[in-house]
Amino acid sequence: MSANLIPILWQATLQTLYMVAMSTLIGTLIGGPLGVFLATSRRGELLSAPWLNTTLGLVVNAARSTPFIILVVAIIPFTRLIAGTSIGTTAAIVPLTIAAAPFIARLIETAIREVDAGLIEAARAMGATPGQIVRKVLIPEAMPGIILGLTLAVVSLIGYSAMVGAVGGEGLGDLGIRYGYQRFMPEVMLAVVVILIVLVQLVQSAGEWIAARFDKRAPRNRGR
Amino acid sequence: MTGPAISFQGVTRRYPQKGDSDVVALHDIWLDVPQGAITGIIGRSGAGKSTLLRMVNGLERPSAGKVIVNERDVGAASDASLRRIRREVGMIFQHFNLLASRTVAENIALPLEIAGEDRARIAPRIAELIERVGLTAQAGRYPAELSGGQKQRVGIARALATGPRVLLSDEATSALDPDTTRQVLELLQRINRELGLTILLITHEMAVVRDICSHVAVIEGGRIVETGETYEVFSKPAHPTTRSFLTGVTGVAVPQFVAGQMQDTPQGPEAQAVTQITFIGSHATDPMLARLTAERGISINILAGAIEEIGTKPFGSLIVALPAARLEESRRFLEEHGLLTEVLGYVG
């Protein structure tokens, strides 16, 4: 591999990290509250709103069942509205976020549903408002599960980000296709794959480490 | 205040079923829970005791009737006033319901944070509560690092944090071993005494009632079938459910080899009457059986027996075999001296 490819790989890695970080961040800002609401709004639950729960559930399912590459193309007008352009790395953040938000919502919903109903009852018996129960009980208790869910979301987004080359979003996936496939440079393809493997490993390990820091459910190892 | 701490007035709870008749969990409950006492509600699972307990802090609402707590109608309270009432009513749970993500001290702080207490006021209050339940060394630990008994102590400290006047206990010792159960019950008794706290507990174990409750209500199929001072109910149980709960708790049961051959009527002149004798209060220490033998020449065969304390009063139960021919004379003698007798059956 010639030395002048190194800056190109570095550039592409930074673009991938930028797209994944931004879409995770915005996706969590949208998907987080949505997940909390989905987890607590069925009939008879804390924020009981069965109709809204069903409706939002349908929207989330619809978004999640659309193949990502079709989503990317289908929302080009919307992307242009938000980002001012439908081409480029920043524009690619729009479809990535729209794919991430419902996914993150479901992951957070699942984590929150895992919290023992007895804790909600105890908090209600203390005179807690629904908002206090969410802030002081549900989210802190679900934190290890939420962190692992976000880790899964980041790993998936690294994969998705490779597909946004189709609309001119750059990054590692796009580099692999353009140089590795279209210009017959298999060493670039290999380098891209290796970088992606390393990224995913780092994200997964970091996520597990942070989740373990939050997890007080098992007695801590008090070894050496 | 002189009235009862908690008053159930004709409380009924129905659960509507789709296309079916309603399930009635509680049926016209009338019960006064006295101030500053420990009252036990005993019943089997599904009897409705859990629903009844949850009426006190509005986790369940009555379909009909009133629940009055500290002179306020809980069933009719708005959400906001219900939250205020809940801060005056602590609750502990069978499975403790502690937050795994918070340390002991942070768990105890939770109700104070919820009540909007100043951070500066919370710290000294927690230190005081932790000391009261004897967990000072564990303050920084997480629930997963504690034993069951320690977890329940945290639960008790948490329930006391907002300075409630009433403590509700939902099977608080049912998940604990006998030793730990005794320690937790002693702690409840101590806070009842020291803080003048009214405690209402539900249990399926008569031993819990015997050990700490001054008053008891027996619930069966959503109805209160017997109620009164523990001591009275133990000495003269009127309802079959109460009797079945008492078996094993008063430490006496007819031994198997006798029970196997027991009959409803005496057979022949040598027949023996199997009789349960209950000793109350000061009589528990009197040698009445020895006097029966000495003064009347009636020989008595003791089959089983125990003496224990119920609400600090001695309470004894004996199962004896008496000659059936002299049964009436013996019963009259014993009852004249304040003992209770009951014929369980006859053996040849």
What is the predicted pLDDT for the residue at A223? 38
Contact check, Cβ <8 Å, B87/A140:
no
Domain ranges for chain A, please list them. Answer: 5-214
Mutate which of B85, B87, B99 to disrupt the A interface (most A C-beta within 10 Å)?
Answer: B99
Whole-structure pTM value: 0.84
Residue B107 at interface with chain A, using a CB cutoff of 8 Å: no
**Distance separating alpha carbons of residues A110 and A119, to the nearest angstrom:** 16
Q: How confident is the model at residue B133 (pLDDT cuts 50, 70, 90)?
A: very high
Closest-CA residue of B relative to A211 is B101
**Window B:38-77, CB contacts with A under 8 Å:** 57, 59
| Total beta-carbon pairs less than 8 A apart between chain A and chain B | 69
CA distance B123 to chain A (A): 18
Taking residues B57-67, report their average pLDDT. 94
**Distance separating alpha carbons of residues B109 and B94, to the nearest angstrom:** 20
Percentage of residues in chain B having pLDDT higher than 90: 57
Q: Is the pLDDT of residue B213 over 60?
A: yes
CA distance B151 to chain A (A): 13
Residue B78 at interface with chain A, using a CB cutoff of 8 Å: no
Other C-beta atoms lying within 10 Å of the C-beta of residue A124: 23
Q: Is the pLDDT of residue A62 over 90?
A: yes
What is the predicted pLDDT for the residue at A224? 36
Q: Looking at mean pLDDT, say which of A31-45, B237-251, B276-290 comes out highest.
A: A31-45
Closest-CA residue of A relative to B114 is A128
Mutate which of A47, A115, A119, A126 to disrupt the B interface (most B C-beta within 10 Å)?
Answer: A126
Domains plus CATH for chain B?
6-246 (3.40.50.300), 256-347 (3.30.70.260)
Q: Are B276 and B319 in contact (CB under 8 A)?
A: yes
What is the predicted pLDDT for the residue at A2? 64
CA distance A148 to chain B (A): 16
Q: What are the structure tokens assigned to A2, written together?
A: 């010639």
Of B208 and B286, the one with more pLDDT: B208
Contact check, Cβ <8 Å, B83/A220:
no
Q: Is the pLDDT of residue A222 over 50?
A: no
Mutate which of B57, B91, B97, B162 to disrupt the A interface (most A C-beta within 10 Å)?
Answer: B97
Contact check, Cβ <8 Å, A132/B102:
no
What is the predicted pLDDT for the residue at B194? 94
Closest-CA residue of B relative to A143 is B101
DSSP string across A184-215: T-HHHHHHHHHHHHHHHHHHHHHHHHHHHHH-
Q: Chain A partners of B97 at a C-beta cutoff of 8 Å?
A: 116, 118-119, 121-122
Supply the DSSP symbol for A122.
H
Q: How confident is the model at residue A220 (pLDDT cuts 50, 70, 90)?
A: low
Q: Is the pLDDT of residue A106 over 70?
A: yes
Other C-beta atoms lying within 10 Å of the C-beta of residue B283: 16
Contact check, Cβ <8 Å, A123/B86:
no
Q: Which amino acid is at B207?
A: A
Spell out the alpha helix ranges (H) of B20-96: 49-56, 79-87
Among A76, A95, A94, residue whose Cα is nearest residue A86: A76
**Distance separating alpha carbons of residues A152 and A107, to the nearest angstrom:** 9
Q: What is the pLDDT of residues A154-195, one digit of tens each?
A: 999 999 988 887 677 788 888 888 888 888 888 888 999 999
Q: Are B48 and B72 in contact (CB under 8 A)?
A: no
Residue A123 at interface with chain B, using a CB cutoff of 8 Å: yes
What CATH number labels A5-214? 1.10.3720.10
Q: CB neighbours of A17 closer than 8 A, spacing ≥ 6?
A: A199
What is the predicted pLDDT for the residue at B250? 65
Contact check, Cβ <8 Å, B100/A122:
no
Q: CB neighbours of A121 closer than 8 A, spacing ≥ 6?
A: B59, B93, B97
Contact check, Cβ <8 Å, B59/A129:
no
CA distance A48 to chain B (A): 15
Q: What is the pLDDT of residues B328-338, one digit of tens each?
A: 888 898 888 87
Q: Does the ipTM surpass 0.95?
A: no
Q: Chain A partners of B99 at a C-beta cutoff of 8 Å?
A: 119, 137, 140-141
Residue A61 at interface with chain B, using a CB cutoff of 8 Å: no
Taking residues B286-290, report their average pLDDT. 79
Q: Chain B partners of A123 at a C-beta cutoff of 8 Å?
A: 110, 114
Q: How confident is the model at residue B282 (pLDDT cuts 50, 70, 90)?
A: low
Among A83, A73, A207, residue whose Cα is nearest residue A152: A207
**Window A:140-179, CB contacts with B under 8 Å:** 140-141, 143
Q: CB neighbours of B178 closer than 8 A, spacing ≥ 6?
A: none
Q: Is the pLDDT of residue B312 over 90?
A: no
